């Protein structure tokens, strides 16, 4: 029996396409799929623009921005077929060698196909995120969400956020419930006030920290994750507190936003990540004239020679200044840190000093 690597060694691009066409259904193999345009992922079966079949090496090549526990994942046609169908490499090898096997049934694939169709339906996505939000409850002093935030940003004293709620949610991975956790649900709002998505942070069952979520096969899953986006998220943010005297801060993450507020006293929103931060749009009608950008001071990327967090902060600053806004960029004192790191370090040093402990 030929090895899988020997079978495909001399395959043309058309043969790789034929392999994919044989095992993926027609509702996945759309014109957009074959044109290499972004669409729903047939593997993780979510999102409407995270997957691309680019075939850049002529081997059925693809990439998904979320398939690796929320991070990018890429592969060739063999991996696409195996991940989609649930076949092992050995089973696919046997099939390509023409060995008699039981007919292939694809319950997971059919489920993924249905889910992919749903995730491309704007109304289904709108209802889904609305339910996530309405099922959660407003935060109250002493609840699990605020205990978590107080542990991450010690000494936190800030207005009670209307954009955060707390709910008890199932954590699903590959359509299987792997746990049930108290979850911070963050409302991500566009400049026009519409909710685009919700971001969720699963909390530990007993300690004020993020949950450690492990799948049945031992994979460590992300405690922080977005739900589907009912609307394109570019321009939006999670509005933690009201602007004050025309000033507003913007940061990447939840804890960083609160730490920046504690350090500078500027009401701060957050955008979930650096790319969305670079795309932030100041809403009209709130009287905002000054934006403080609290950048993450990332290590320099050797490929670009830039600090990613700083580069995206500068991109935002340039655009907002061109729009006539006052912009102030803040960066942490130490490279490789964010303002949450800076606040925690300072808080610990002050506590040691007050206790008479020398470093």
* CA–centroid distance for 31 within its chain: 27
Question: Could you tell me if 188 and 268 lie in one domain?
Answer: yes
What is the DSSP secondary-structure string of 284-322?
Answer: TTS---EEEEE--BPPPBTTTTB-HHHHHHHHHHHHHHH
**Residue 133 domain flag:** no
**3-state helix/strand/coil string of 214-247:** ECCCCCEECCEEECCCCCCCCCCEECCCCCECCE
Distance CA 184, CA 99 (A): 51
Question: Could you tell me if 309 and 188 lie in one domain?
Answer: yes
Q: pLDDT at position 287, please?
A: 96
Choosing from 85, 120, 155, the residue where a domain stops is 120
**Residue 272 domain flag:** yes
- The CA R_g of the chain, rounded to the nearest whole Å, is 23
Question: Could you tell me if 29 and 151 lie in one domain?
Answer: no
Question: Could you tell me if 115 and 148 lie in one domain?
Answer: no
Question: Could you tell me if 311 and 237 lie in one domain?
Answer: yes
10-residue mean pLDDT series, the chain (359 residues): 82 90 84 86 72 88 80 86 83 81 55 52 84 94 95 95 95 83 96 95 94 85 87 95 97 97 98 95 96 96 92 97 97 95 94 75
**Residue 65 domain flag:** yes
DSSP symbol at 169 = E
**Residue 130 domain flag:** no
Question: Could you tell me if 101 and 157 lie in one domain?
Answer: no
Domain span including residue 171: 144-354
DSSP symbol at 159 = P
The pTM of the whole model exceeds 0.85: no
Question: Could you tell me if 152 and 56 lie in one domain?
Answer: no
**Residue 127 domain flag:** no
**Residue 126 domain flag:** no
Question: Could you tell me if 103 and 156 lie in one domain?
Answer: no
Number of structural domains, the chain?
2
**Residue 270 domain flag:** yes
Distance CA 203, CA 214 (A): 13
């Amino acid at each position: 029996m030929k090895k899988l690597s020997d079978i495909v060694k001399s395959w043309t691009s058309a043969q790789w396409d034929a392999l994919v066409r044989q095992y993926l259904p027609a509702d996945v193999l759309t014109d957009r799929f074959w044109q290499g345009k972004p669409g729903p992922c047939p593997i993780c079966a979510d999102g409407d623009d995270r997957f691309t079949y680019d075939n850049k090496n002529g081997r059925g090549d693809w990439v998904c921005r979320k398939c690796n526990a929320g991070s990018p994942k890429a592969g060739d046609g063999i991996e696409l077929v195996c991940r989609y169908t649930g076949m092992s490499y050995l089973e696919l090898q046997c099939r390509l060698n023409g060995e008699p096997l039981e007919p292939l049934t694809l319950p997971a694939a059919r489920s993924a196909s249905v889910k992919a169709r749903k995730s491309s339906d704007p109304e289904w996505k709108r209802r889904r995120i609305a339910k996530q939000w309405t099922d959660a409850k407003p935060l109250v002093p002493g609840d699990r969400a605020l205990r978590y935030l107080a542990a991450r940003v010690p000494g936190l004293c800030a207005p009670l956020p209307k954009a955060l709620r707390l709910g008890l949610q199932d954590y699903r991975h590959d359509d299987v419930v792997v746990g049930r956790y108290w979850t911070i649900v963050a409302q991500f709002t566009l400049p026009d006030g519409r909710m685009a998505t919700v971001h969720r942070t699963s909390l530990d069952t007993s300690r004020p920290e993020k949950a450690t979520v492990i799948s049945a096969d031992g994979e460590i899953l992300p405690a922080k994750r977005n739900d589907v986006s009912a609307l394109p998220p570019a321009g939006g943010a999670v509005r933690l507190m009201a602007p004050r005297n025309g000033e507003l801060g913007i940061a990447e993450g939840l804890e960083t936003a609160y730490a920046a507020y504690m350090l500078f006293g500027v009401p701060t929103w957050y955008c979930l990540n650096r790319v969305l931060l670079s795309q932030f749009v100041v809403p009209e009608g709130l009287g905002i004239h000054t934006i403080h950008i609290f950048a993450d001071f990332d290590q320099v990327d050797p490929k670009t020679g830039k600090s990613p967090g700083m580069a995206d902060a500068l991109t935002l600053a340039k655009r907002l200044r061109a729009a006539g806004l006052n912009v102030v960029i803040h960066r942490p004192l130490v490279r490789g840190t964010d303002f949450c790191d800076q606040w925690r370090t300072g808080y610990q040093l002050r506590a040691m000093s007050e206790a008479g402990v020398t470093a």
